[in-house]
Amino acid sequence: MNKDTLEKQLYDEEAETFRNQLATVTDDGKRKWVYPKKPSGRFHRARIAVSAVLLLILVLTPFIKVNGHPFMLFDFLNRKFILFGVLFGPHDFHLLVIAMISLIVFVILFTAVFGRIFCGWACPQTIFMEMVFRKIEYWIEGDSKDQRKLKSAPWTGSKVFKKFSKQIIFFAIAFFISNIFLSYIIGIDELIKIITDPPSEHLQGLFAITIFSGIFYFVFSNFREQACTIVCPYGRLQGVLLDRDSIVIAYDNVRGEPRKKFKKDEGWENRGDCIECYQCVEVCPTGIDIRNGIQLECVNCTVCIDACDDIMDKINRPRGLIRYASLNSIQNPIRSGSDGKTKWRFTPRAIGYSALLSVLITVLFVLLLNRTEFSVTVLRTAGLLYQEQPNDMISNLYDLNMVNKTFDEIPVTLKLVPRNPLGENIEGELKLVGNQIVLEPQGNLDAKFLVLLPKDELTKMSTPIDIGIYSGDNLIKKITTSFLSPMKKKDE
């Protein structure tokens, strides 16, 4: 089949009618329940292994502590985040914004090059749905045919037992998942308290767990693939993120068409390799036919690759009729490697995204490297110049703001390190409004202080002074600011 015919076939209006409605919705708008066939094969085995590792990481991470604090915490309510043991708070908002923009650009770049690999291999929704809940369903209700039969069977004791036990197990797992996710928000210690203390002491926490459990239970027992096809914004953005060079799970229509039922005594002339067995459709958890081309509903779960490879083995044809490939590599095989595998091409689009991402990551790294755990701002109080004080002293009033980004309480003292134009010390005094400053962990503190210097020593209208911030005897920060004084008369 030549390229023009293929293009025509691909964009033929009739062939595109599948795009007019979702595979999981009937003509009259009702939900079409998907009963995917039990998957098997090399990609599925690999995904089971990857999912097991990711689930283990998800469950164990809340228990990891660094110096007694969580390794990861996303406390949105108190705007406190701990990433890899480092505490970030509201004062790090700029870092969060740059990190978020970098993440979005990374996702765009990754998707433009590798399609929806994340959806199939690492998305929590797919992992929980396909590797946990669906497996339990197969275990209790059997493969797709048995599930269909059970659905239409009368409510016998066995059906009641199967249906109820499945729902109870589903709810128990949803409850477990909600506890795990909550531990990322409130911390594992707080979660253990909620579990072990009398319920009346943690009504808010219990309320949150109940709501989370209900949502997870509804999503995995009922809503299912619709989370990917209707709700997920990432899935809906595929149309703009993918291009003809993106590597996706694709049906090789050059090799597969024209499709025809397989008959043992017929040869392979004048026909494609697709034998219309529908195995790729029967295993699909979103109910689509990948032979129609790239579709929003495809979560790149790879099970259609395994199903088709199995068929190809049985009919003695090469594997890979459905495989990871770009549209261009299928339609222009010359651009592919001699082994028929897709040659990766760094497209101008990918170059542009990579350049932008490099800039963002560099900025983020520079900011992170220069990030201090303690920040201080000293400003002369607005609207005031200087005040004449008894004993020929001049005073300036200052506003002080300090942010403690650590987990520890920091008692702070301020000392004046005044200097004259030659850099020599000027004897002066620093008076704090209030006696002592104690910075709470992750605290933000505002205070005022006065600096008094002898009038005789001040030779200029503005004298630079240093203020030392001490914790005990340790100088933790030195701030340079200016001290205003009256203009010296000529004879003085």
- Please name the residue that has the structure tokens 């708070």: 89
- Shortest distance (Å) from residue 274 CB to ligand SF4: 3
**Binding of ligand SF4 at residue 174 (CB under 6 A)?**
no
By the rule CB under 6 A, 275 interacts with ligand SF4? yes
Contacting range for ligand SF4; rule: CB under 6 A; set: 16-24, 77-85, 304-312, 465-473: 304-312
Chain-centroid distance, C-alpha 87: 18
Stretch that binds ligand SF4, among 25-33, 283-291, 376-384, 394-402 (CB under 6 A): 283-291
Q: Residue 120's beta-bridge partner residues?
A: none
Q: Which of 183, 302, 328, 442 binds ligand SF4 (CB under 6 A)?
A: 302
CA 462 to chain centre: 51
Tokens of 359: 């800039």
Query: What SS3 class is residue 66?
Result: strand
304 lines the binding site for ligand SF4 (CB under 6 A): yes
Kind of pairing between the strands at 69-70 and 65-66: antiparallel
- In the bound state with ligand SF4, the residue whose beta carbon lies nearer, of 290 and 412, is 290
Q: Among 37, 44, 47, 291, indicate the residue that binds ligand SF4 (CB under 6 A).
A: 291
CA distance 242 to 231: 19
Minimum distance, C-beta of residue 163 to ligand SF4, in the bound complex (Å): 26
Shortest reach from residue 271's CB to ligand SF4, in Å: 12
Question: Would you list the DSSP string of 92-126?
Answer: GHHHHHHHHHHHHHHHHHHHHHHTTHHHHHT-HHH
DSSP designation for 261: -
307 binds ligand SF4 per the rule CB under 6 A: yes
CB of 246 or CB of 463, closer to ligand SF4: 246
* Tokens 């669906």 sit on residue: 134
CB-nearer residue toward ligand SF4: 277 or 484: 277
Q: How far is the CB of 350 from ligand SF4 (least distance, A)?
A: 23
Residue 279 lies near ligand SF4 (rule: CB under 6 A) = yes
Q: State yes or no: residue 278 binds ligand SF4 (CB under 6 A).
A: yes
User: Does the footprint of ligand SF4 cover residue 311 (CB under 6 A)?
Assistant: yes
| Residue 290 engages ligand SF4 in binding (rule: CB under 6 A) | yes
Cis omega (within 30 of 0) for bond into 258: yes
Residue number with CB closer to ligand SF4 (303 or 439): 303
In the complex with ligand SF4, the residue whose CB is nearer, 213 or 279, is: 279
109 versus 274: smaller Cβ distance to ligand SF4: 274
The answer to the question of residue 228 lying near ligand SF4 (CB under 6 A) is no
CA distance 94 to 336: 44
- Tokens, residue 181: 């996710």
Q: Which is nearer to ligand SF4, 322 or 467 (CB)?
A: 322
Q: At closest approach, how far in Å is the CB of 13 from ligand SF4?
A: 22
| Residues 98 and 357: beta-carbon distance below 8 Å | no
Q: Name which of 347, 257, 241 is nearest 293 in CA terms.
A: 257
Instruction: Name all contacts of 377-380 with Cβ < 8 Å and 24+ positions apart.
Output: 377/401, 377/402, 378/467, 378/479, 378/481, 379/481, 380/481, 380/482, 380/484
Q: Which of residues 234-253 bind ligand SF4 (CB under 6 A)?
A: 249, 251
Tokens at 285, concatenated? 């958890």
Residues within the interface to ligand SF4 (CB under 6 A) = 249, 251, 256, 274-280, 283-286, 288, 290-291, 298-304, 307-308, 311, 321-322
